[in-house]
Structure 1
């Protein structure tokens, strides 16, 4: 490879195996995955991204992209990795209620920049996640039943397509790409910047109720009945937790089975309190952390882990959640079931998530009623048991699963994964567009190379 010729054309840095910076740039949030790209281009601007893609095409190298490492699911062996972490532009336009961010920006940066103006982004449950990967995969967050998918708020996208061309796309300029990138993740190109609408939501009545594992069956069945009647002002999920006894884990939860009912209410706090009252009355919470919070503190609803760890994630979408499904889940993952999973979660969908977008996109499965996720730590001696048990959970819930999967729901690769992420018509259109904008199939590494399913 003529690395020196590329180096002369970049304002950013090139790193290869053996360099001091290599390990830091390939670090993943899921440390069970080790990335081993042949070369890393740490882009300083969009032109660096374009130069890297053109170089990779000429050299016959596959291209992958990484900013925060949260979506890494492939070792990227031998690939050229475009690292976009230094594309850190973050500008809020308070007069018009929109923001522009670079590909290296995390949600907490946007939350903090928008809050002084009374605006908020449709961020996810983990504010440390990157904006671009989350949004291009749809974007399902703690208030999504009110406001819908983050990808539907996108106004404009700047990206380098697989042919090495830097493009700015909107609903009116290159509409095919605007359709494809919103839901298609990295299938068509490397996003360098996003512009999206914000919402007027300075505070939330939100948080979580934590119950003792002895009340798991009572709470989970009650949650199923309760959430089915909730208005769209409420977004909720329930999680069966087995949190380790580590510093920072509250004593009532550490080293024992518990159940968390997450709740985000976008209306008046008094109405949210009334809506949540039935769950507070089901059993006595060991921790009641639901209160009025600044929207910028939205991460406290789920309290997702912030430190890298080796994990196995799996996911499903459900078309229904009858009492029989709750019973089946508790049998395989409830207290006494011997589940090795740290988290088994069901999120209620519906509401604004089920509505058609103003501008159609590649995001599929909007009609799913619930999502199901399992997260287990791949540590000896239970690593093998985590993986096999996740398959047992999926088998137990099979009568109610749709067969589909959201692009962001459990990072993964491969033809089967891609086929589950999109319906046949959408996948065929994505493949055709990839052939037009990436004729050399440069974007064949990473999480969503759709042409692998062709």
Structure 2
């Protein structure tokens, strides 16, 4: 246990997200499910709210007081190659799972960043690099182990209401201490990115061509469009300094990757072309997400259609002429993501997901939400895993039917709202 002022407190509460301070009254550095049970029992007895942190990527905001359970020491990974499954404890990161599965020619349905926690990612749905082929990571969960608000350690099988609610409901119903999830037989894939100079090629024109292209590709191909204005500072690599980089990222397990991406190569001159066949262990290079802690605020919009004119206005608001830096990513949805599954992952009807990251100050947040407002007529909801620091905004995270069912489970398993240091079902968070 750590309390404010103790040696190790600052290191224990620090995570990937540096823009929001975590100042719990007590930190339980859990190494086992029994430790988690003890932490939950303590919080319940003291009437304190509970938060959970594995890597600290998706914080809903700053916190003051309460109990924080850190799970980074719970890092065991066990692969069952015959069953094509893996069991991961609460602190495991996706990079560990990729490495453990690779010798068997298997792969998890991880996201683009190997440093993200596997359990928290899956509880939020899990939109991975092969999502259109295989669906959400949550769709492949086999069983869960969870500590609920009454301090019980429960084994949660498929088909139960709690299984349904934990997968998509985030951290609202308990602390998941272990997850069993399916692996897919993928050892290699075709992937990478095409990058364009956004000052030489119209970013909206690239987006228009990308949207047309997505209508022609098979369900087995997953892709995204990104727009990143890099600052002109010495810390940036010379080939990126001061550039507005527009890129299209691709991941595909078929043998026809080069043919499928040919129309993208006709858009215009490229800054770089990293599309190639690669071992799955190199799949993190497709997006090359930053691996160092930093501050950011972000939100998202699930779209029924991508109106390229409205999206062009969004790009104008977040481009290199904006007063601060923004990162825009537009994911192509559909395919296996559209198939209904026995879990609470919502908004499966969406065709695209728009994600915007910016600075944490008030003016940057306001501009970010103004940018997302340009696509509001086509917005059907928001994605839980891509709401960063927006804990005060819970509307749109679930459709009404899903929210009603989750609220019923919340009343049954956590009537005192012990687990409220998150994007709460009822909109009640602990934020400074």
Range into which the TM-score falls when normalised by the shorter chain: over 0.9
Post-superposition CA distance 1:63-110 (Å, at most 9, x none): 111111112223231111111111111011111110001000000000
What TM-score, normalized to structure 2? 0.94
Q: Given that residues 311 and 376 in structure 1 are in contact (C-alpha distance below 8 angstroms), is that contact kept between their aligned partners in structure 2?
A: yes
Q: In structure 1, how many angstroms separate the alpha carbons of the residues matched to 2:241 and 2:339?
A: 39
Q: In structure 1, how many angstroms separate the alpha carbons of the residues matched to 2:91 and 2:105?
A: 24
Partner of 2:193: 208
Deviation at 1:232, TM superposition (A): 1.0
Q: In structure 2, how many angstroms separate the alpha carbons of the residues matched to 1:137 and 1:453?
A: 18
Matched ranges for 1:53-452 at <5 A: 53-172=40-159, 175-213=160-198, 214-215=200-201, 216-245=203-232, 249-268=236-255, 271-334=256-319, 337-338=321-322, 340-357=324-341, 360-378=342-360, 383-402=361-380, 404-412=381-389, 414=391, 416-417=393-394, 419-445=395-421, 447-452=422-427
Q: In structure 1, how many angstroms separate the alpha carbons of the residues matched to 2:119 and 2:304?
A: 28
Deviation at 1:161, TM superposition (A): 0.6
DSSP-derived class of the 1:129 partner: coil
For structure 1, list consecutive stretches of 5 or more residues without a partner in the other structure.
1-13
Q: Given that residues 297 and 390 in structure 2 are in contact (C-alpha distance below 8 angstroms), is that contact kept between their aligned partners in structure 1?
A: no
Which moved further from structure 2: 257-266 or 337-346? 337-346
Deviation at 1:176, TM superposition (A): 0.8
Deviation at 1:426, TM superposition (A): 1.5
Partner of 1:5: none
Instruction: Give the alignment's Cα RMSD to 1 decimal.
Output: 1.8
Deviation at 1:247, TM superposition (A): 6.8
What TM-score, normalized to structure 1? 0.90
Shift in alpha-carbon separation, 1:158–1:246, aligned structure 2, 3 A: farther
Q: In structure 1, how many angstroms separate the alpha carbons of the residues matched to 2:67 and 2:49?
A: 6
DSSP-derived class of the 2:290 partner: coil
Which moved further from structure 2: 30-39 or 423-432? 423-432
Deviation at 1:19, TM superposition (A): 0.9
Higher helix share: 1
Q: In structure 1, how many angstroms separate the alpha carbons of the residues matched to 2:291 and 2:205?
A: 30
DSSP-derived class of the 1:309 partner: coil
Q: In structure 1, how many angstroms separate the alpha carbons of the residues matched to 2:131 and 2:233?
A: 31
Equivalent pairs, count: 427
Q: Given that residues 314 and 409 in structure 1 are in contact (C-alpha distance below 8 angstroms), is that contact kept between their aligned partners in structure 2?
A: yes
Q: In structure 2, how many angstroms separate the alpha carbons of the residues matched to 1:256 and 1:435?
A: 51
Deviation at 1:145, TM superposition (A): 0.5
DSSP-derived class of the 2:22 partner: coil
Which moved further from structure 2: 136-145 or 435-444? 435-444
Post-superposition CA distance 1:308-331 (Å, at most 9, x none): 111121211111013333433344
For structure 2, list consecutive stretches of 5 or more residues without a partner in the other structure.
none
Post-superposition CA distance 1:95-147 (Å, at most 9, x none): 11100010000000000000011000000011110001100000001110011
